[in-house]
Amino acid sequence: MELSVINEVIDELGDLSAKEVSEYSHGDMPWIIAEDNEDLDYEYVFYRDPEYSVREYDD
């Protein structure tokens, strides 16, 4: 399952430049919530927009 996620990310982002990947990552909720120069709290991964989430939830 983890290898599948890695391959999906490569397929989705593999053609982007380093700058484009950086800009993309800065739109992710953990980055937005975090304070400058502070560690990211693991709990932030549960507050992701669908664009950044790899988990599928049942309705």
| Helix spans in 1-59 (H) | 2-13, 18-25, 29-33
* pLDDT (0 to 100) of residue 18: 95
d(CA 32, CA 26): 7
- Name the residue with higher pLDDT: 3 or 46: 3
Residue 37's alpha-carbon distances to 24, 40, 45, in angstroms, are: 19, 9, 18
The per-residue pLDDT for range 22-51, each reduced to its tens digit, is 999 898 888 888 888 888 888 888 888 877
